[in-house]
Amino acid sequence: MTLTQPEKDFIPCLRAVDPQSIWGAAVHNVLNDLTPFKFRLLVSELKSQDSDSPDIMLKILGTDCHSQLKKL
């Protein structure tokens, strides 16, 4: 199984996340050992966190990345 084009398009956005935060470290850990399963699990976790704290996720991801997350 491979990533869809929207998923692939989201990767550069994720690479820009600050690795010094807890979420940033999690994002970069997945990107450093990328598999479709791990990527989709990360997206699911990011979406869940966004449901709980959208302001925090917006700050962590940035506007463009946050928008892309919502479309996945």
- pLDDT tens sequence across 59-72: 999 999 999 999 99
pLDDT band at 21 (very low <50, low <70, confident <90, very high): confident
Q: For residue 34, give the 3-state DSSP assignment.
A: coil
Show me where the domains of the chain are located: 5-71
pLDDT band at 1 (very low <50, low <70, confident <90, very high): low
Report the distance separating Cα 55 and Cα 51, nearest Å: 10
